[in-house]
Structure formats: structure tokens, C-alpha cells
Amino acid sequence: MTLKHSISALSLAAALAAAGSAGAQTATVTVVGFSGVFAENYQKFIIEPFEAAHPDIDIQYQQSKNSAETLALLTLQKSDPTVDVALIDVSVAIKANQEGIFAPLDPAEVPNLAKQPDWARIDGDRSIAFSQDNLTILYNTETVTEPPTSWSDLADPKYKGRIAARMADTRGVILLPILNHMAGADYKETIDPALEAMNAFAPNVSTWDPAPDCYAVVQSGEVDLSICWNGRAQYLHDTQGGIIGIAAPKEGSIGQTNTINLVAGSTEAEAAKTFIDYALSAEAQATFAEQSFYGPVNTEVELSPETAQRIYGSPEAQAAQMTLDWPWIATVYSQWIQRINREVIAQN
Amino acid sequence: MSATAYPAECPAGRNRLIVLMLLVPGLLALLCTFLLPMAWLARASLSAGGMTAFGSELTLANYRAALTDPFYWQVGLNTLWLGVTVSVFAVLLGYPIALFLARTQSRWRGVLTALAVAPLLTSAVVRTYGWMVLLGDRGVINSTLAALSLTDAPIRLSNNSLGANIALIEILMPYAILAMLAGFGRLNPALEEAAAMLGANRLRVFWRIILPLSLPGVLTGALLVFVLAISSFVTPRLMGGGRVFVLGTEIYSEATVTLNWPLAAALAMILLGIFSTVIVLYQRALRGLEG
């Protein structure tokens, strides 16, 4: 590059910078959320189309290892938040709402709120569910010739010592109502039947805390089956040679619910609301579902049969898909984990 | 302080002032990075259910919850038991190595010492994964046994407390060796020669001379390993398959899964209490040995 070119490049850059500051309306919205594949997909299928449509808003996506870490960050910054929007697990969102970390959204400012089902509008529209990642059974396609079809297949003695099941977290909290439902019981009344069902497959469990995670142990053949999340598994199925198979049980499942939340005290609340409205739109949720196999929440989303199959399983399983009363679950969350630890894991 | 009171008469006081001034940066760093977080942790353990530690009233409810729950007593006992087994085996296995390194005349001594502590250069996480590869159901040991038709089904060597113990013993052994090596400086070959000349056989020399003289080093090694073992978290978590409930894993799960930070803080303070007790007992024992 000659000197002349450098100078013209410099002046061009200066002119651009001046134009930017003259515009001065560019708002930067910081979104903190899940890391890994989720972050990649969210950037590509939600943030980029949004920024293209709103050149005056710049979205900064900040990855967080897990929702607990996000909550720690938001708690520390409570008086002077640098984050505007948080994507976190519903159970953590409800905890955060007890601390007054999120602000309520107004349906007049976020019109897409009206298209969310009632269960998705949590704590007076402070936390809005935007996607659901189903709990499902993964199997190693090389060692398992006949994939399981039901949650009760987990108790089949042929899987002795061949199952990885992290139960002492949201996975267990979601599996309890599923097992309870199969036993014809209501999770708000008792979870004894579910704990009994868990104890029925417990002897088959090799690890209650697979390391590094519930996907890698299936991929490596260390176990045959693993109780895991669907979205990431579908991605790994497509990218890692199809060794991980997904056997969505016919009794249906429940999704780990992700919520979008406006941080109270956000300095870019207007732009943040515009983004939240887009993230809740049928268009954004349909794209995200098609691309990342996270179940949509917006009631206007129509999924293709192929996508529905990959998110929820067979038509039978799709019909049996359940949702939970999350605010109620939040009141028993730690108590359920305690019972799983004490009455199932510590006994096996 | 005294230096400002007696500036002229007391040059020793000025020296002390200089020493104090030199200590200030270190003390400040310690205050910010260690004492303040500890105070915050102590304060958090006295908070009610919420997550913001300050601003709410003080309560002992978290300690009551932890100390009246038989499950946490079991967790506490598991932790102590893990500490005892790991420190006993790390010292037993490390003792001959440390003794050899302390006494060898080989010109390779430096290299051998470096080799003995070389595992410390690798992170405990990496070494734990190494043990997972060796001890897993389809790991090196089990697949070798299966290939030799010695076993029908894999032997459970990992995803339980046996696996956590094996890995921790190996991971903490270098600390035991280093601590013992430092403590073996008191071993004087002349004493052994004297004993031999007076007719003691080698076993007797070991039993009456070497072992008693090396006990302070052994005790230091055992204490170090014990403290590291009861506060360990990564290895019990990765090797335990979720079945090993120790204080470290419970604090982690209260802090990140059930989000009960005050209870996690209370458990951490209880662990700190156990540490302090052990160290006081150790110093008593050491004084007893030397006195």
C-alpha cells in the first residue's frame, strides 16, 4: 500500500467515524446468554437478521457458562447494570425475579407478547419463555441396534451399567413430572411414583454426573444411553458423523425452558425492547426452531413435519408433549433435587 | 509506630518501620484478595434465603439447616473419610520414594526429585481425565482384563468413591513426597551407623531411628494431603460419577444448581472450621513429638 493510499484510507475511516457520531442514534444492546452452539445459532439466525433490519441498533452477545453464572453477574451489577437483556433458564429467572433483577414488559411496547401462550408469560411479564429444549434419550448408533422407544426402556436390564444420567439438576426436575405422568400421578400432589420409577432404572446407571458431558459419553461409546437435551444432540448428530442417535420417547417430554428478560435499570431499554419483540416474533422463533431444533413458544409458529419430528419425536410423542407450571416448580426445585440425591443417587 | 515515637534514640524502631512499610503491599494484597472475600463469605453464610448477602438481617438458619440434617453429617463424614484414606495411602506410597530421594548418592538425584514432583506441572483436571481413561468401564485396565478373558464384566473402578480415592492419591502424592523430603533433613546417617555398630539389624534401625526421626515430616505430608483432599472438588466430581458426596461437591451444587448461596457459604465456613481444627490438632501433635 502506497503512502497516498494509506492517507486516503485513513481519511475515509475518519469520515466514517464522523458520520457514525453525527448519526449518534446507534444504541448498543448487550445480551448475555448461553454459550457454545446456542450462541453461534443465536448470533446467526436471530441477531444478524435483526441488525440488518435495525441498522441503528447494535447487539453485543456475551456468552455465559451457565445461568447460575449469569445470575451472579446480574446480582453483582444490580445497581449499575451493563447488561440489557438476559437469556436464562426459567428456574433461574424466577429466582432473579425474587431479587427484582428484571423489569416487567409492557404488551403495548412489545406487541409479540400477545402471541405467547399464558404459561410462557412468567412473573407479570418479567420473564418470557422463548424456546424449549426437550429432554430426550440419546443412544450410540454403533452399539445400540434397537433404539429405546419409551422412558421405561431405561430400566431394561440389558443396559446394566450402560446409562449416563445427570439427574441432580433441571434434567431430573423435568424427568420427575414425565415419569409421574406415566404412572398416572399429578406432580403437584406427589412425586413418589416418579422417584420409584427412577429407582427402577438406577441400577443401570453408570454415572450420575457424566464427564465432560452427557453427549460426549455417548459419542465415545463409554455408555449406550444418556438422558440429555435434544437441540445440542441434533446438532452433534449432524456434525459428528451421526454416532449420536436421538430416541424421543413415545410418552412425550418436557422442554428445558429458556426465557428472555429485560434487566431492570437498563440504559438502553427502548432498543432492548425492540430486540426482545423481534426475538419473540413468529419469524425469529420459526427460523431458530428450523436451524437449531429448539422448540418454539410463539403460538403462530408453524413447523414443517420434519422439523417437528426432530424437535418432539413421533406424531404420538408430539401429541404427548407437556409443559410445566414453572413458577410452582421453582418453589420445589431444590427440594426435588434433594430428594433425587438422597432417595435415588445416594442409594445406588 | 514506635519509630515515630522515638525517632532519634531508637534506630531499631526505624528498622521495624521499614520492615512494616515493606510488608504493607503484601498485607494490602492479602486483605483485598483473601481477608475481604472471606469476611464476605462469612457474612453471606448468615443471610436469609435471598442472594444479596448484605442488607438483610442476620440469621443462623443456614448453619441450623446444615447441622441438623443427617445428610450433611454423612457428607461431612464422607469428606473426612476421603481425607483420611487419601492421606494415609499418599504417605505410605510416598514414604519410600521420599526416603530414597533423601538418602540417594546418585548423581541423578536432582532429576529423580524433579520426576517425582513433575506431575504437579500438569493440572489436576488433566490428570483426572487421564485416570478416567485408565479406570473407565471400557478403559485401559478393564479392556486389558477383558482381552485376557480374566473378567466377564468390567470391574467398577471409576464413577464411585474407589475411583475418586485412586485418582486423588496419585494427584496428591507429590505434595506428600515434597513435604516429607523437606522434613527428612534431620535424618543423620551417623546415627544409623552408630545403631548398626551397636548391633541393631536394618529393620530395627528403621523402626527405632529412621521412623521416629522422620515422623514430623510424615505428619506434615499427611496434613498437607489431608487438607487438600477434604477441600478437593474436581477429582471427586469427575471420578465419582455423581455418587461421591463430599463438602466440595455439595458447596458447588448449592451454589450453582439450587442457587442457595447462603447455605453454600455456611457449608464453606463449616469446611473452614474443620480445617482449623485439624491444623490445631496437628500443631499439638507436632509439639508432642518434638517435646
Higher pLDDT residue, B190 or A61?
A: A61
Say whether pLDDT at A66 is over 90: no
Q: Which residues from B are below 8 Å from A344, CB to CB?
A: none
- Using an 8 Å Cβ cutoff, are A223 and A148 in contact? no
> Among the listed ranges A284-293, B99-108, B268-277, which one has the minimum average pLDDT value?
B99-108
What pLDDT score was predicted for residue B291? Answer: 60
Nearest Cα of chain A lies from the Cα of B234 at a distance, in angstroms, of: 11
Q: Would you state the pLDDT for residue A49?
A: 96
pLDDT reported for residue A22: 41
**Within-domain flag for A332:** yes
Domain assignment of residue A13, yes or no: no
Shared domain for A232 and A175, answered yes or no, is yes
Selected residue of B75, B239, B256 to mutate for chain A interface (largest A Cβ count, 10 A):
B256
Domain count, chain A: 2
Q: Which of A10-24, A98-112, A215-229 has the lowest mean pLDDT?
A: A10-24
Q: Is the dihedral of CA B113, B118, B119, B124 positive or negative?
A: positive
Domain assignment present for residue A16? The answer is: no
What pLDDT sits at residue A119? Answer: 93
Q: Which of A207, A223, A347 to mutate to test the interface with B (most CBs of B within 10 A)?
A: A207
- Closest C-alpha among A132, A169, A130 to residue A259: A130
Closest B-chain CA to A69: B256
Answer yes or no: are the C-beta atoms of B170 and B132 closer than 8 Å. no
Please indicate, yes or no, whether residues A73 and A219 belong to a single structural domain of this protein. Answer: no
B159 contact residues in A (CB cutoff 8 A)? 206-207
Residue A43 maps to a domain? yes
- Say yes or no for a CB contact (<8 Å) between B259 and A92: yes
Quickly state the pLDDT bin for A16 (edges 50, 70, 90): very low
Instruction: List residues in chain B touching A: CB distance below 8 A.
Output: 50-52, 71, 129, 132, 136-138, 153-154, 156, 159, 237-238, 240-243, 245, 253, 255-260
Q: What is the mean pLDDT of residues B142-148?
A: 90
Residue of B nearest to A335 (CA): B258
Tell me: pLDDT of A223 over 80.
yes
Q: Which residue of B has its CA nearest to A343?
A: B71
Query: Domain check: are A124 and A66 in the same one?
Result: yes
Confidence class for position A209, pLDDT limits 50, 70, 90? very high
Rg for chain B, CA atoms, rounded: 24
Per cent of chain B over pLDDT 90 is: 52
Q: How far apart are CA A93 and CA A251, in angstroms?
A: 28
Residues 6+ apart with CB under 8 A from A243: A140, A141, A142, A218, A219
CA distance B241 to chain A (A): 4
Of B264, B248, B277, the closest CA to residue B76 belongs to B248
Q: Are residues A118 and A43 in the same domain?
A: yes
Tens-digit pLDDT profile for residues A77-133: 988 999 999 999 999 999 899 889 999 999 999 999 999 999 999 999 999 999 999
Q: What percentage of residues in chain A have a pLDDT greater than 90?
A: 86
**DSSP H helical ranges for B33-160:** 36-45, 61-67, 70-103, 109-117, 124-135, 140-147
Same domain? A261 vs A121? yes
Q: Give contacts of A329 with chain B, Cβ < 8 Å.
A: none
A155 has a pLDDT exceeding 90: yes
Residue A139 lies in a domain: yes
Cβ-Cβ contacts under 8 Å between A and B: the total is: 67
Q: Give yes or no: residues A128 and A213 share one domain.
A: no
Give which of A235, A29, A243 is closest to A142, Cα–Cα.
Answer: A243
- Closest to B221 measured CA to CA, from B185, B176, B182, B281: B176
What type of residue is A282? A
- Over the stretch B148-186, which tens digit does the pLDDT of each residue have? 988 888 888 999 999 999 999 999 999 999 999 988 877
Which of B153, B242, B257 has the CB atom closest to A207's CB atom?
A: B242
Q: Do A99 and B52 touch (CB under 8 A)?
A: yes
CA distance linking residue A344 with residue A202, whole number of Å: 7
Kindly state the average pLDDT of the residues A58-87: 92
Average pLDDT over residues A252-269: 96
Query: Are the C-beta atoms of A84 and A262 separated by less than 8 Å?
Result: yes
**Is the distance from CB of A67 to CB of A88 less than 8 angstroms?**
yes
Domains and CATH numbers, chain B: 66-124+171-290 (1.10.3720.10)
In terms of Cβ atoms closer than 10 Å to its own Cβ (0-12, 13-18, 19+), residue A110 is buried
Task: Give B246 to chain A, closest Cα distance, Å.
Answer: 12
Q: Are residues A180 and A329 in the same domain?
A: yes
User: Interface pTM (ipTM) of the complex?
Assistant: 0.83
Q: Which of A78, A222, A337 sits opposite B138 (nearest CB)?
A: A222
Q: Is A211 within 8 Å of B253 when comparing Cβ atoms?
A: no
Measured over the CA atoms of residue B222, residue B223, residue B226 and residue B231, the dihedral's sign is negative
Average pLDDT over every residue of B261-277: 92
By mean pLDDT, which of A187-201, B49-63, B74-88, B231-245 is the weakest? B49-63
* For residues B131-145, average pLDDT: 90
The residue segments making up the domain with residue A102 are 27-132+256-309
A207 contacts chain B (CB < 8 A): yes
Q: Is the pLDDT of residue B5 over 50?
A: no
**Is this model's pTM higher than 0.90 or not?**
no
Q: Considering only CB atoms, which chain A residues are within 8 Å of B127?
A: none
- pLDDT for residue B289: 76
Q: How far is A169 from chain B (nearest CA, A)?
A: 6
Distance between CA atoms of A33 and A29, rounded to whole angstroms? 13
CB contact under 8 A, B258 and A71: no
* Structure confidence by residue, pLDDT tens digits, A46-57: 999 999 999 999
Confidence of residue A36 (pLDDT cuts 50, 70, 90): confident
pLDDT of res. B12: 67
A198 lies in the same domain as A238: yes
CA distance A232 to chain B (A): 20
Residue B59, helix vs strand vs coil:
coil
The three-class DSSP label of residue A105 is coil
Asked if residue A18 is part of any domain, the answer here is no
CATH number, residue A86: 3.40.190.10
Same domain? A138 vs A276: no
Using a CB-CB cut-off of 8 Å, the residues of chain B touching A207 are 159, 241-242
Residue A4, domain member (yes or no) = no
The SS3 call for residue B163 is helix
Q: Which has the minimum average pLDDT: A2-16, A143-157, A229-243, A289-303?
A: A2-16
pLDDT bracket for residue B49 (50, 70, 90): low
Q: Is residue A7 part of a domain?
A: no
Residue A292 CA to residue A42 CA, distance in Å, equals 9
Do A214 and A141 lie in one domain? The reply is yes
Q: What is the mean pLDDT of chain A?
A: 91
For residues A97 and A188, state if they share a domain. no
| pLDDT tier for residue B16 given thresholds of 50, 70 and 90 | confident
- For residue range B183-231, what is the model confidence (pLDDT) as tens digits? 887 788 888 888 888 888 888 888 988 888 899 899 999 999 999 999 9
> Which position has the grid cell 445427570?
A166
- Are A251 and A265 contained in the same domain? no
Mean per-residue pLDDT, B47-66? 76
Sequence-distant (≥ 6) Cβ neighbours of residue A13 within 8 angstroms: none
Average model confidence (pLDDT) across chain B: 88
- Where residue B272 falls among pLDDT bands split at 50, 70, 90? very high
Q: Which residue has the cell 418479567?
A: A126
